[in-house]
């Protein structure tokens, strides 16, 4: 039963991720990326990580993608013919890297498909709710919770400084 | 039930697509989007392990990954805007000022 939900979600997510890479216009890529984030939120719900699914939609599909859209429209990016020009100098290197990537993917599929995984653990009903994740976050992981706040503060200041100053 | 290996293969596929995009696209903003795909792929495998081991650590770590992604995007897009002000292009091949 869960497979029937998982396969369409996974196929749509992978297809939309390919759409991000192979779309000619940046706006099209951004729209595909939003769709992929929503598909991944569905996968998270399937994994009973409800809180993370909501965060995925709020932060990724909401905030981050709005920022992307804003910058794309601000810079008024048009479709770019030069984007798909193959650089002759790098053809062999690229082919080698692609072959290596396919090999790594094959190896991962091979290992994970052959491994003996137990059935999913028996989890309580409230697994992945705000209460459970919040309790873990504010008891065992207080320091890792504070570090990203410093990071976000630094990012905020850095973004303002970078976008404001006239570099020339 | 979905076996764990399905989630891991899904995650590896998404990660490879992200790497592919970073390697073949020349548009700086699309390269950022492909980095986002890679971060999301990692989140999928973290949360899948979490569910199958009945732990909470993976969800906390994917929370951190989302925080880092937000910071990375804000800084990265600010850098793109600052670059665009200097030279009106986002083609990474043309931004070779620091090329040795």
Tell me, what CATH number does A62's domain have? 1.20.120.1200
Looking at the predicted structure, is the pLDDT value of residue A89 above 80? no
Closest CA to A41 of A68, A67, A9: A9
A105-131 mean pLDDT: 77
The pair of three-digit structure tokens given for residue B65, joined into one six-digit string: 């990954």
pLDDT the model gives residue A166: 62
**Inside any domain, residue A159:** no
The tokens 């030069």 sit on which residue?
A82
Phi/psi at B95 (5° precision): -90, 75
Using CA atoms, how far residue A72 sits from A69, A77, B88, in Å, is: 5, 6, 13
**Inside any domain, residue A6:** yes
Using CA atoms, how far residue A127 sits from A25, A147, B25, B47, in Å, is: 40, 25, 40, 12
Q: Which of B20, B86, B91 sits opposite A82 (nearest CB)?
A: B91
- Percentage of chain A beyond pLDDT 90 is 39
Using CA atoms, how far residue B87 sits from A88, A163, B90, in Å, is: 25, 14, 9
Kindly report the number of other CB atoms within 10 A of residue A151's CB atom.
16
Looking at the predicted structure, is the pLDDT value of residue A28 above 60? yes
A17-35 mean pLDDT: 91
**Inside any domain, residue A74:** yes
A137 vs chain B: nearest CA distance in angstroms? Answer: 7
Looking at the predicted structure, is the pLDDT value of residue A118 above 80? no
* Domain count for chain B: 1
Total CB pairs under 8 A between chain A and B: 218
Kindly report the number of other CB atoms within 10 A of residue A158's CB atom.
15
pLDDT the model gives residue A164: 78
Rounded Cα distance between A118 and A123, Å, is: 14
Closest CA to B42 of A16, A35, A52, A27: A52
A133-162 mean pLDDT: 90
A17-42 mean pLDDT: 92
In sequence order, the 6+-apart residues with CB closer than 8 A to the CB of B57 are: A136, A141, B50
Owning domain of residue A44: 1-79
Looking at the predicted structure, is the pLDDT value of residue A15 above 90? yes
Residue A166: helix, strand or coil by DSSP?
coil
Owning domain of residue B55: 4-86
Asked if residues A44 and B50 have their Cβ atoms less than 8 Å apart, the reply is no
pLDDT the model gives residue A167: 53
Q: Binning pLDDT at 50, 70 and 90, where does residue A119 land?
A: low
Question: What residues of chain A lie within 8 A of the CB of B86, using their CB?
Answer: 167-168
Q: Decide if B51 and A2 are in contact by the 8 Å CB cutoff.
A: no
Rounded Cα distance between A166 and A163, Å, is: 8
Tell me, what CATH number does B48's domain have? 1.10.287.3510
The pair of three-digit structure tokens given for residue B68, joined into one six-digit string: 């880092």
In sequence order, the 6+-apart residues with CB closer than 8 A to the CB of A98 are: B20
**Inside any domain, residue A11:** yes
pLDDT the model gives residue A3: 86
Give the burial class of A21: count Cβ atoms within 10 A of its Cβ; 0-12 exposed, 13-18 middle, 19 or more buried: buried
**Inside any domain, residue B27:** yes
pLDDT the model gives residue A165: 66
DSSP structure class, residue A60: I
Q: How far is CA A123 from the centre of its chain?
A: 26
* Domain count for chain A: 1
**Inside any domain, residue B96:** no
Question: Considering chain A, what is the average pLDDT of its residues?
Answer: 85
A109 vs chain B: nearest CA distance in angstroms? Answer: 6
pLDDT along chain B (100 residues), means of 10: 86 90 86 93 92 86 92 91 84 78
The pair of three-digit structure tokens given for residue B6, joined into one six-digit string: 């399905």
pLDDT the model gives residue B97: 78
A131 vs chain B: nearest CA distance in angstroms? Answer: 12
């Amino acid at each position: 039963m869960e497979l029937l939900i998982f396969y369409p979600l996974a196929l749509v997510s992978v297809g939309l991720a390919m759409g991000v890479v192979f779309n000619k216009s940046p706006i099209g890529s951004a729209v595909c990326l939003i769709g992929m984030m929503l598909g991944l939120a569905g996968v998270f719900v399937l994994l009973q990580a409800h809180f993370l699914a909501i965060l995925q939609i709020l932060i990724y599909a909401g905030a981050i993608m709005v920022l992307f859209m804003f910058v794309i429209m601000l810079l008024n990016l048009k479709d770019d013919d030069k984007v798909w020009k193959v650089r002759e100098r790098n053809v062999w290197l690229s082919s080698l890297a692609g072959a290596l990537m396919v090999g790594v993917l094959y190896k991962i599929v091979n290992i994970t498909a052959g491994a003996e995984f137990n059935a999913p653990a028996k989890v309580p009903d409230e697994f992945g709710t705000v209460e459970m994740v919040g309790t873990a976050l504010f008891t065992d992981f207080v320091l890792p919770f504070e570090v990203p706040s410093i990071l976000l503060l630094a990012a905020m200041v850095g973004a303002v400084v970078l976008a404001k100053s006239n570099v020339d | 039930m979905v076996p764990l290996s399905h989630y891991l293969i899904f995650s590896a596929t998404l990660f490879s697509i992200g790497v592919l995009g970073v390697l073949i696209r020349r548009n700086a903003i699309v390269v950022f989007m492909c980095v986002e795909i890679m971060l999301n792929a990692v989140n999928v495998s973290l949360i899948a392990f979490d569910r199958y081991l009945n732990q909470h650590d993976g969800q906390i770590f994917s929370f951190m990954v989302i925080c880092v992604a937000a910071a990375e995007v804000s800084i990265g897009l600010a850098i793109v805007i600052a670059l665009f002000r200097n030279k009106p292009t986002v083609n990474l091949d043309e931004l070779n000022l620091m090329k040795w």
